[in-house]
Amino acid sequence: MAERLPKPVSAALLLAAAAVAGLWLWVPREDGRRDADSKLGVIAHSGDALVPLPQVPRLPADKVALGKALFQDVRLSRDNTISCAGCHDLSSFGHDGRRGSVGVGGAEGSVNAPTVFNASLNFAQFWDGRAASLEDQAAGPVHNPLEMATDWAAVIGKLQADDAFRRDFLSAYPDGITAANLADAIATFERTLLTENAPFDRYLRGDPQAIDARAKLGYRRFRELGCVSCHQGVNIGGNMFQRFGVMADFFGERAPQRPAVAADLGRFNVTGQEVDRHVFKVPGLRNVAETAPYFHDGGVARLEDAVAIMGRYQLGRELSPDEIDSLVAFLKTLTGMPPASLKR
Ligand code: HEC
Ligand code: HEC
C-alpha cells in the first residue's frame, strides 16, 4: 500500500483533508499520500502529524475538586454501588481492564471502556462519537441501564440531601446543583487528566535519547506504513472517524468466534447512514500499552495482536514479527505519567 501521489499535493487538497479531520494538528510537509483509507476518501500524510501533549490546563480549582469528588461518588448510580471511577480507575490509566464494562446489578456492556486520560483531546466522545463534548458525555453512563442506571433528577435528590456537598457546590456554582453544573464539574475535572512526560513527547520536544533505536524504527514504520493517516494529532488518534475493516471484512471474519451485536455497527447507530456502518472514532493511542484489552469489543488482549489486526484490516498487509515488535516498542513510548494534579 502507501503508494505515493505526485508531490507536492495541492494545498487545497490538504486543506480539504484537514477540514474533514476536524481538530487536526499537523506540521505541514511537502509530501502527502493516499493510504489504505483512500477507500474512504481521506487523504493521508506522512510527516510529523504527531505533536506532544499540552500541559495540564489551569482550571478553577473548586470546580476541579468537585468534579473529582463526583467522579468517585457512587451516588451517581441507582443503587449507590458504582462511580465513574469504578469503570475508569484513576490509579490504573483511567480504564477497567475488562472486555465489556460491568455496571449496576452486574450488567455487562458490549463495549470496552476507553480511558478517560486525555479524552478531553478527542474531537468526540464514545466509540461511535455520539457525544460531542465531555459535558454531553457525562449524562450517558448516568442514564445507561447497563452502567449507572439512574437519572440526574434522582442523583440531584441524593446530593441535595448532603449539606456539606450542597454548601461546597453552591460556592462554585451559585445556581446550585443542576444537571448542567454536575456535568460541567465532571468535565472540568476530566480536562485535567492529561498524562505527562511520555518518552515520545520528550523525543518530540527535542531529546533524541528519550526513545531507543527500536522505538525510533517503530515510529518510522508507523508513518511509512500509514498508521499515522488515521492515528494522528495530539492524541495520536481521536480526531476522525474511520471504518474498522477498510481492507478486509473484520466483522465477517470475527463472526465464528463472536457474532455481531448492535454496538459493532458503530456510527451507523448514530447517523443511520449506510456509509457509517462499522465506522468508529479512531482511538487515541496514548498509554495504549497500559489499556488492554483492545478495540471497541475488547476482544484482543495483546497489543502485538491488535497491531497485526490493524495491519491486516486497515492497511491490507500482513505485518512481519519484526514490524510488529518495533511498532509495539514505539507504542510503549506513548505511556506517560498520571497527572501530578491527581495526587493533590
Ligand atoms: C459501568 C462502567 C462505566 C461507568 C460507571 C462509567 N463509564 Fe465511562 N465509559 C464506559 C464505557 C463502556 C464507555 C464506552 C461506551 C461507548 O463508547 O459506547 C465509556 C466511555 C466514556 C468516555 C468516552 C471516552 C472516549 O474516548 O470516547 C468518557 C469521557 C467517560 N466514559 C467518562 C465517564 C464518566 C464521567 C462517568 C461517570 C459519570 C462514567 N464514564 C461512568 C464505562 C463506564
Ligand atoms: C484506516 C484507519 C486506520 C489505520 C490505517 C490504522 N488504524 Fe488503528 N484503529 C483504527 C480504528 C477505527 C480503530 C478502532 C477500531 C475499533 O475498535 O472499532 C483502531 C484501533 C487501534 C488500536 C486499538 C486501540 C484501543 O485502545 O483499543 C491500536 C493499538 C491501533 N489501532 C494501532 C494501529 C497501528 C499500529 C496501525 C498501523 C499498523 C494502525 N492502527 C492503523 C483506524 C486505523
Same domain, 120 and 30: no
Say whether pLDDT at 61 is over 80.
yes
Q: Which of 161, 190, 219 is the last residue of a domain?
A: 190
Length reported for the chain: 344
pLDDT tens-digit readout, 103-137:
888 888 889 999 999 999 999 999 999 999 999 99
Same domain, 34 and 68: no
Task: Quote the pLDDT of residue 104.
Answer: 86
Q: Is residue 4 part of a domain?
A: no
Dihedral angle computed from the Cα positions of residues 136, 273, 314 and 263, in that order, rounded to the nearest 10 degrees: 60
Looking at the structure of the chain, the number of domains it has is: 2
Task: Quote the pLDDT of residue 48.
Answer: 57
Looking at ligand 2, which residue's alpha carbon is closest to its atom 12? 282
Task: Quote the pLDDT of residue 108.
Answer: 85
- N-term to C-term CA, the chain: 48
Give me the CATH number covering residue 110. Answer: 1.10.760.10
Q: Is residue 343 part of a domain?
A: no
Q: How far is the CA of 222 from the centre of ligand 2 (A)?
A: 11
Q: Is residue 310 part of a domain?
A: yes
Same domain, 225 and 322: yes
Tell me which of 178 and 31 has the higher pLDDT.
178
37 touches ligand 2 (CB under 6 Å): yes
**Whole-structure pTM over 0.85, yes or no?**
yes
Instruction: Write the CB contacts of 88 (distance below 8 Å, at least 6 apart in sequence).
Output: 71, 94, 95, 96, 113, 115, 116
Pocket of ligand 1 (CB under 6 A): 71, 76, 82, 84, 86-88, 101, 103, 109, 111, 113-114, 116, 119, 122, 125-127, 134, 137-138, 141-142, 147-148, 186
147 is catalytic: yes
Q: How far is the CA of 178 from the centre of ligand 1 (A)?
A: 20
Tell me which of 340 and 15 has the higher pLDDT.
340
pLDDT tens-digit readout, 150-163:
999 999 999 999 99
**By residue range, what is the domain housing residue 214?**
11-53+196-332
Same domain, 128 and 37: no
